[in-house]
Amino acid sequence: MKKSVLKCEHLCKTYYSDEVEFNALKNVSLEINEGEFVAIMGQSGSGKSTLLYTLSGMDSITSGEVFVNGRQINEAKPKEMTKIRRENIGFVFQGINLVSNLSLFENIVVPGYLTKVSRKEIDSRAKKLFTKMDLDQQVNKLPSQVSGGQKQRAAIARSLINQPNILFADEPTGALNSSSGKAVLELMSEFNKEGQTIVMVTHDIKSASYANRVIFLHDGRIDGELNLEKSKMTNKTKEEKKIFKYHSMKGR
Ligand SMILES: Nc1ncnc2c1ncn2[C@@H]1O[C@H](COP(=O)(O)OP(=O)(O)OP(=O)(O)O)[C@@H](O)[C@H]1O
Ligand SMILES: [Mg+2]
């Protein structure tokens, strides 16, 4: 049986600003199993980033429950939460946020040095990730001295340094041109084939087609779901048919 690594039930998130309430997530329930590559799609403002932030414990929820590896994280104390996040969760942010005065190497190893794992082990993991990401020539450069695609790949390497159970990525190709975007998606797909569970937000059909399952968000609610491995082409919307087409072009 597949192991459930991420689950939320009746998740609601309300933002309060200047006494105005805004319900960004309305009763969202979903479950993701180990090894899945899930894309979350929806228009700008539909709640995609909010969903990723609340599922990864980076932001609080208003009501409902969130479980990571069977553990209810929305009740965890801040210190415990930091530990759960560090050990279980990797996060690639919307817009790359590497530390500008650290080299790519330093950016990648820092989250690793904050754990109990030895520096030797972290350095060796970083080296392997660099080679895989084709960044060997870039390790000693600052983020401002490398390309957008290289920065994004470094951000992914950083999110993987602690070998997280779940990799969350918020529009990982949003800031890239199509060829560097494709390279990043292919890399993520490769990590997924090696067993990495991935939850990726995107508004782009081609990017979503790299996933095995697509969840559609509309106005803070789940509006549909597409299983690219199991379901058939029949009774699909235009958008879903396109995702299927691109998915099948990848020769799976
Ligand atoms: N801190 C906040 N305070 C008030 N409203 C917020 C806050 N953050 C987000 N929102 C609102 O919640 C809704 C969902 O925002 P979210 O960032 O999750 O959207 P998104 O689907 O990721 O959009 P995009 O594709 O543009 O990144 C939006 O309408 C946004 O204006
Ligand atoms: Mg967003």
pTM of full prediction above 0.85: yes
Mean pLDDT of the chain: 92
Spacing, Cα 95 to ligand 2 middle (Å): 10
Measuring CA to CA, which residue among 228, 171, 193 is closest to residue 35? 193
Cα angle, residue 188 at apex, residues 184 and 194 outer, rounded to 5°: 150
The pLDDT of residue 97 is above 90: no
Q: Which atom of ligand 1 is nearest to the CA of 25?
A: 14
CA 224 – CA 3 distance, rounded (Å): 23
Contact 85, 29 (CB under 8 A): no
CA 54 – CA 40 distance, rounded (Å): 14
Spacing, Cα 24 to ligand 1 middle (Å): 7
Per-residue pLDDT tens digits for 224-246? 999 988 766 666 788 888 888 88
Per-residue pLDDT tens digits for 45-75? 999 999 999 999 999 999 999 999 999 999 8
DSSP-assigned letters across all residues of 15-64: EEETTEEEEEEEEEEEEEETT-EEEEE--TTSSHHHHHHHHTTSS--SEE
What DSSP character marks residue 237? Answer: -
Query: At 117, is the pLDDT very low, low, confident or very high (cuts 50, 70, 90)?
Result: very high
In terms of phi and psi (left: phi > 0; alpha: psi -120 to 50; beta: otherwise), the region of 170 is beta
CA 72 – CA 68 distance, rounded (Å): 7
Domain boundaries, the chain: 4-249
- Classify domain 4-249 at the CATH superfamily level: P-loop containing nucleotide triphosphate hydrolases (3.40.50.300)
The percentage of residues in the chain with a pLDDT greater than 90, rounded to a whole number, is 73
Spacing, Cα 9 to ligand 1 middle (Å): 20
Burial of 166 (0-12, 13-18, 19+ CB in 10 A): buried
Query: At 95, is the pLDDT very low, low, confident or very high (cuts 50, 70, 90)?
Result: confident
The pLDDT of 89-103, averaged and rounded, is: 90
Report the pocket of ligand 1 as residue ranges, CB < 6 Å: 15, 17, 22, 24, 42, 44-50, 94, 203
Tell me which of 1 and 145 has the higher pLDDT: 145
* pLDDT the model gives residue 231: 66
Tell me which of 94 and 224 has the higher pLDDT: 224
Alpha helices in 59-203 (DSSP H): 78-88, 104-113, 119-132, 148-160, 178-193
In terms of phi and psi (left: phi > 0; alpha: psi -120 to 50; beta: otherwise), the region of 53 is alpha
Per-residue pLDDT tens digits for 130-139? 998 899 999 9
Q: Which atom of ligand 1 is nearest to the CA of 42?
A: 21
Q: Which atom of ligand 1 is nearest to the CA of 52?
A: 18
Spacing, Cα 50 to ligand 2 middle (Å): 7
The pLDDT of residue 252 is above 60: no
In terms of phi and psi (left: phi > 0; alpha: psi -120 to 50; beta: otherwise), the region of 10 is left
The pLDDT of 211-224, averaged and rounded, is: 96
User: Both tokens of residue 32?
Assistant: 């993701």
Helix (H, G, I), strand (E, B) or coil at 205: helix
* 138-152, 212-226, 228-242: least confidently modelled range: 228-242
* pLDDT the model gives residue 251: 54
Distance from CA of residue 32 to its chain's centroid? Answer: 12
* pLDDT the model gives residue 248: 84
Calculated CA dihedral for residues 204, 210, 211, 217, nearest 10 degrees: 0
The pLDDT of residue 160 is above 70: yes
